[in-house]
Every structure is written in C-alpha cells, then in structure tokens.
Amino acid sequence: MKSANLTNEDIRKLYENMLRDEALDNYTFPTKPSSDGYYHIYVADSTKKTGRRAVKAKTLDELKEKVYELKLVKSEERKLSVQNTINRNRTAYARFFSEAAFERKYVWEITKLEKMISFTQEHQRKYPQYLPSYALELQIAIPAFRKYA
C-alpha cells in the first residue's frame, strides 16, 4: 500500500489493526494446537468465579478474533459503567444542589463547608448506623467541590 494512495477508509482500517495488535500483544498465544485439535487460552474475566475464562478455537486467527471480541466487550462495559456513574452524579447534583444559594459561589467562598464535613464525620463515628440526610448530600457534593477547587 503506497502512502500517496491511502484513503480515509484505508487509514481507519490500519488504525483498527494497530489497536487490535496492541490489545492482542498482552496475551501469549499457543504455537500449536492441543491434543483435541483446538488452540486454548485463558482470558481474564472478573465475572467468573476463577477470574478467568477459557477460550478455544480451531485456528489461531479464530482464537485471536475471539480474544479481541472479549476484550472489546469488556471495555465497552467499562465505558458504560463510567457513563452511568457520571449520569448518577449529575442527577444527584441537580436534585440536591441545583438552584441552591451556594451553587453560584466559588468553593473558597464557602467557609462553613469544612465545619459541615468535620461535623458529619464526627457524627458518623459516634453513630455509624445512623446516616442523616445531609450527610448523604455532602458525600455527593464533596467530589464536585474538589473537582472545581
């Protein structure tokens, strides 16, 4: 493939192949099939009790494709999990702090925040079974404040 004749589609395929090769470099693939005629490999899988999943295929290329697909599924699940966390935090912020008086203030202008945090922590140490509603609100707010500090 000459570099002068590359199209956007060719570049995209090259990039996808590069990403695929980088992902597969983390695994040591067998050089010859097992006695049953299949190539076998173990892939990390946190959903399984043993923490890994056995993958087998008739050809080495097929085995690499299966491993890559498993890697893609796991990374997509992680992205979805992160997005869910972001959405949950945004919803909680909108629920508890939207239109609040201190929302328009800078973090360093909120002087009572440290007192509120220390009071809540002390209260939780004394009464670990009881969690007042404002404590939950502070637990949600503190990461947001630290983000903008």
- Tell me what percent of the residues of the chain surpass a pLDDT of 70: 68
What's the pTM value of the predicted model, to 2 decimals? 0.46
- Given a contact cutoff of 8 angstroms between Cβ atoms, the answer to whether 40 and 31 are in contact is no
Taking the C-alpha atoms of residue 94 and residue 96, their distance in angstroms, rounded to an integer, is 6
Convert the pLDDT of each residue in 27-70 to its tens digit: 888 988 899 999 999 988 777 788 888 999 999 989 988 888 88
**Cα angle value 55/61/65 (rounded, 5°):** 55
State how beta strands 52-57 and 39-44 pair. Answer: antiparallel
Number of H helices, E strands in the chain: 4, 2
Closest-CA residue to 71 (of 135, 12, 27, 110): 27
